[in-house]
Structure 1
Amino acid sequence: MVKFRNSIIFKVISIIVVSQLIIWFWLITSIKDAQREILNSLNTQQKEFVIKFIEEQKQKTIKKTLESLKKLIKYSQAALSYSLFNYEEGSAKKIISDVLLEEKSIKAVEVYDTVGKSIFISAYKKDGKKIFTKNKLPKNFEKYKYIKTELIYNSEPIGFVKIYYDLSPILKHLEEIQQKELELVNLKFEKIYKETQKKEKKLFVYFIIAAIFTLLFLLFILIKFINIPLMKIKAGLERFFNFLSDPKQKIEPIDIDTNDEFGEIAKFTNQGISVSSKLHRELAELVDVIDKNIMICEFDENGNVIEVTTAFMKVCGYSKDEINNKRKEVLCNVDLKKIIKTVEKEGNWNGEVKCKTKYGKELWLKSNITKKCSYENNSCRYINILFNVTDKKELEKLKNHLEELVEIKTSKIKQLLNMTKESIRYASLIQKAILPSHGIFKKAFKDYLIIWEPKDVLGGDIYFLDEVRDGEYILMLADCTGHGVHGALMTMLVKAIQIQIINELSHTNKEISTSKILSKFNKSIKEILKQYDKDSNSNAGFDGAIIYYDKNKNIIKFSSANLPLFFIKDNNVDVIRGDKSSVGDVFTPIDYKFKEFEMKIHDELKLYLTTDGFLDQIGGEKELPFGKERFKKLILKYQNLDFIMQKEMFLEELKKYQKDNPRTDDIAVIGLKL
């Protein structure tokens, strides 16, 4: 029987009494300081909350400002890309001056041309003025952060823009707010501290009374409900551990049937006692299964085999007597000393070993070695668990061989693809080179817009503008058969014929006829490609339109093959439809005469030409073509904007309408202001 002073009840009561005394003493001596520390802590937390809140506001303000800057940059990105691609400094300056530098937080803008490897244009604010240059920004702008955005034109990167910004004025204002809030917090908590001191004495008395009642209640619970159940559990556990050492002994359950924790402990302990005999039997069966099916080898630090399972002997072909001291003959490719060092350092060793069977056959075994020590006799041994992976190794060899063959074939295919891509890229550069410069458009017209976006790297849409004679211009827009490589080849043929026609016209004083020019194209293509009837091997040509503009007489002439001319008249959009026959088509006669329309220009006139790529683009809620009527409404909607802004709005409207649908064809749109 345990003496009372050695029992748990005595110890718990002693701990409670001592703890209460310490708490009372501590309360008497340090409650004021503790109260002060708590209030100071709350004060500090409130200040930290204010600082954290202001910091969050700073981050939100920065994030909101940066998002606003990014939207502004995205709005200007397309215009800057267009200006950089066409080297139009005037357009770039207008966008930078009127849009970007108008934002207070933006300090400078730098546009870099990656093709020319130079600064295209840079601008910054100084003394309230906007200064433009082609040099790098002054060094004092390096202190500002910047946002860098890539400029892309026709799906190709051509440069980037850096926007330097300064958020310090906004942040300074937030810091002033923070300082004022912290001062208010100090005043508030000083008042709270004075009020808390008044209530301190009452709370102290209440706590002493509660502590005394708690102590009395705990003493009653310990004596009444804990001591007896603990003694019963102790006796039951002693019987249980005696049973574990000798399962033949008779055991009795713990006699506690209460509904508290002691009753639960007794219940689960009794359940463990009832199943212990069953677990002993199942453990023996499990050991037998492991012995027959898992390869295990136990050895000492010298490599001498101590014990092996039946499965190990079956695979290696040795009996227990034959396996003793056979490490070197059985495991061929291991360094035992290194393995033991690894196990001692890391706790285990994993790897693959080669096993040589009794009959000379070599097997690959996946090995996991750990250390097991007996504290009774202070001896250690190493447990090696092995799995036969010989078949897996053979499969890996075959897999590696196949991967080498696939890699060789893939490399050859990549070489061919790279050659093809390089050829197409170079062809794209040639195609862009034959397009007219923006200088001749500026000379011929008051304002203009050009949208030219091939569906692929190469395209079948092409446009030309030439000054045939002084003040006389011929504009041509053609949608050649197909797109991609075959469409691009057709544009080169059209360009060759166009050069010949322009040369002939420039050396004569005859009146220029757009109808005759289209007829010349029709006859030349049919003769070159031998497309005389519907049985011809090919059927290539183009849908196109030609505008002749005489600035001296202030007139225009127009002929068309399936490309309408849109123009604004009396705040409405009128259309000249032209002919429905395609140039060069096998069903178009070789001597076909196209209609010619002539118009005298009295007031400012705006003309628009488009290939079917814009009109036939699928999109919208019902996934229908964009269509001519919607295109006419688009012209009316943005007619009063500059043409550079009209271009951006046209592309934006098409993008919204297209949504996630793929591009269906090349796109070419030309707008002119006469």
Structure 2
Amino acid sequence: MNVIKILKPAIYCMNQLKFVFKFLIICFIFTLPLSILGWALVLEVNNSISTSKNELKGLNILKETYQILFTVAEFRDYSMLQRINLSEDFENEIDNKKKVITKFLSEYTTKIKKSSISSPAIEKQIYELIDLWLILSATGAGVQGAPEIQFTYYDKIVQKIELLAHLISYESKLAYDPELSNFFLIKLLLEDIQTLNRDFGKLRSYGSFALASPTIDSYTYTLLENIYEELLKTTSSVKINLLYTNRLNVDITLKEYIENIIIKSDNSLDFFYDKVIEGEVSNKKLTWQAFFQYTSKHINLIEEFSFAILPTIEHKLRTKIKTQQTKLLIFISLSTFLYLFVTYLIIGMYYSLKSATDDFLDKAGEIAKGNLDVQIKKHSRDELSYIIKAFNNMAQQLKGKQEKLIHRTLELNREKQFIVSVMDTQNNMVITQDNLEIKTANKAFFDFFKVSNVAEFNTKVTDNIATLFKNQELEGYNAELNEKTWVNYINERKDTLHKKTIEIDGQQYVFSIFIDKFTFQDEKLFTIVFSDITELEQIRNTIELINKNIKDSIRYASLIQNSIIPSPSDYQHFVKDSFVFWQPKDIVGGDIYIFDTIRSNDECLFMVIDCTGHGVPGAFVTMLVKAIERQIIANISMNNQQVKVSEIFSAFNKELKKILKQGDNNSTVLSNVGFDGGIVYYNKNKKIIKYSGSNTSLFYIKDNKLNIIKGDKESIGYKSSDVNFKFQEYSIDTRGGMTLYITSDGYLDQNGGEKLFPFGKTRFKNIIKENHDKPLQQQKDVFVSEFNAYKGDEEQTDDITLLAIKFTD
């Protein structure tokens, strides 16, 4: 009935119209959203095609950008030799390279300004690029200073071009290409190839510089060794990206380039080490021209690889545009055909229905006159044919209607008896009643109340069962017949669990009540089911009590853990300004920070420890760590040896593995716990701190500059932890004042923001840079507010410990 009420306005409107207008309205209603949807799809495909074309334009500009990039990079490496190679031919060659680059930049600037992908950011970058080139190209004889100063001086222009390449890829949407192989090829072009070009350009220029010099001093020799170590690390990272890209759907030519680049990178590093570093020791030096030429071949291979990537991306983009255009044409053609075909069918349906209704009206008039032998000829095989068939049978069925009604009444009585027998088999109490009076009840109901029928229940117990409920009525509930009875109240709230207590012979029973409404012989009745949940309620109460006891125990454990956390007054002798942001994920946590004096009032230790897990397990580990720390402090205090924080970490590692039996990858031990963290030793008299870190960095401000000491990538105490690992130790002079910051990963790894990314070190460093000149308590407010704002409604992912200490003269 509710559905009919909702449809009444629509039915009324349709009843006012002829069929022809009804069909026109229906056509319009169905056609309009489909047309809008089709138009939206066409616009989406057109936008996709336009984006791909814009990417092609960006790709063409990117080709010339990389041509300039490699030309300027070669000039950068060549220019480092100006101060040690003053020959006229060399100077002429430098001048020629400057003219070529100047011409390239002029043509390149004109082309970009005319391009549709030009933007204020790109134009600004080009102007800065031109201005910087004019300054660099005006330098006549190189730059004074060490090789790295000269390289950095000329590398400024290369960095500008690299940034310009990034801006072009962003403005043209190349960097956001949804096709996986295109995305990684662009990423390879913008990041890894630029890294290889710079790193091996540095190798070419530094090596040539060293070979061109009469002798290599110890500073330069050390610099060459550092460059070699640096290139080993960066090329390893780039190799991983190259090998991953090689597994994507790229053509065989790019795969061959990738394999050659990996091989050539290793060869160039070996050649550099043998001919430049080892060659200096063994006096087997070669000419700088030969070395420059050898390394240029590898850089040329990188350049060829860059220009091989660009056509591959271009081919895929053009293929994508062609495919999208084809799909668009097919979609428009099919949509037009379907629209015309559907219109054709609707017109046919209208005339079919009109013919049938005209015949129906004629025959209905005959029945009204008393002619029950009339028949309508079938016009179609649709639902209308059933109406016609029913109409034809109606006249024949009228005479037997009375006999069928009697037969149906007998059937209903049999069904009623069947329902009563089914109800009597139920363990739950089941009754039917109207708004107030009980009509029927099953055997379980009579047995519970110890009566034999409804009349006896009304007389001996109550005529309104709601009066038996023990003061558990919901707010607004009224047991008496008012605007709404109790059955209506519960029936309208089916999503709520309704529990009522009934007391019989001094014993209380809890029932859940379910009510459903039905109509029988034009009378509105309710089926009410009482399910005995007394035992379930007792179990629930027991569980709630157990949970309360567990929570009380954890809260008490929190008091114990808080008792081992130092307060600022404990270390105010050493530092006057500090703050700690300590916030466990649960009531107790796996993070802890520790302070202890050593031997005298001039030495102390600060520790930030991030133990395995959080909650109760993490808290247990913190207590174990604190116990070990007390033992280590006692051992240090018993001797006058110099304190080494790296050895403290080693002692922690050995003792924790020993206590938990986690040494030698013991498979019988199920536990595998440990911690990461940082240790700071401070000597107030000598004005010095020492730091060691286990997967934990030290951030500190000195002379208004942010510095970072990265901890070793080794954890403490785990089965996989190396018991013989030697941690790095760093010393910092605190004279002149400094502020340090140590945080566990709970702050940095917190997910949040629009994309639910981790907070990250970049945001953390920016907070320090922007607020380091404020008092630390104000800084703490900023750290806490920034953290909460970034986290938003997200759950805290881990325990948090952030310690900040300011050292003064």
- How does the TM-score come out when normalised to structure 1? 0.43
Between Structure 1 and Structure 2, the one with more strand by share is 1
Larger radius of gyration: 1
Q: Which has the higher helix share?
A: 2
